[in-house]
Chains A and B, each alone.
Chain A
Amino acid sequence: GAGVSQTPSNKVTEKGKYVELRCDPISGHTALYWYRQSLGQGPEFLIYFQGTGAADDSGLPNDRFFAVRPEGSVSTLKIQRTERGDSAVYLCASSLTGGAVYEQFFGPGTRLTVL
């Protein structure tokens, strides 16, 4: 596709459950990013992949959060034992490669609601 796609668009789960959120980056983009956006706030960085490896995971809030990108394209953000505070829009972005000069292009996000 032409842009970054994310599935599902909405996810409702119960406290304590496990969820997976998927991101398909723009074709040819080697860098991929995950952010989380709470209502009325700007996006908050979670993790950055360059190829298959996590180049910076300093934004992951705790060990319940984990992300993979096994083939250097699609990425999955995994959240274990979800808590109500995890409710937010999870945004994925990609760029041609990592580094300061490349713009990040965002997907539409997955709205996660933890009941």
Chain B
Amino acid sequence: EDQVTQSPEALRLQEGESSSLNCSYTVSGLRGLFWYRQDPGKGPEFLFTLYSAGEEKEKERLKATLTKKESFLHITAPKPEDSATYLCAVRFGTSYGKLTFGQGTILTVHP
């Protein structure tokens, strides 16, 4: 069964305490893995797209990496404003439009 699983479900960090979020997937024919950030009451905000194993992308304090079975979102020296739900999604097979999302990781960064 095609699945996307994110861990942990929730993560609490102190400001400046670096950590990683995980997204593991079991799909055939990956065509892209996407990371989004979602603030309460808002729609998901696009962060990164990764297409092949070994690829990495960075934006400010965030760095996304991809292997053949999982992706990591590394957060370096987080700030309270990084608090949000981080969603991972995959596009695979012949589903050119459909994104399959994980359940998200709720990140809270305390000052």
Contacts and interface: CB of A to CB of B under 8 A. Distances in A.
Contacts of B25: none
Given A42-B102, A42-B103, A106 B97 contact: no
Contacts of A48: 96-98
Contacts of B51: 100-101
A36 to B, nearest CB: 11
Given A48-B98, A100-B91, A91 B43 contact: yes
Contacts of A103: 34, 46, 49
Interface residues of B, number: 26
Q: Which of A33, A43, A44 has the most CB of B within 10 A?
A: A43
Interface of A is mostly: loop
Given A106-B43, A108-B42, A42 B101 contact: yes
A50 B46 contact: no
B87 interface: yes
A58 B102 contact: no
A42 B91 contact: no
B98 A100 contact: no
A66 interface: no
6 contacts: A42-B101, A48-B97, A100-B51, A103-B46, A108-B41, A109-B43
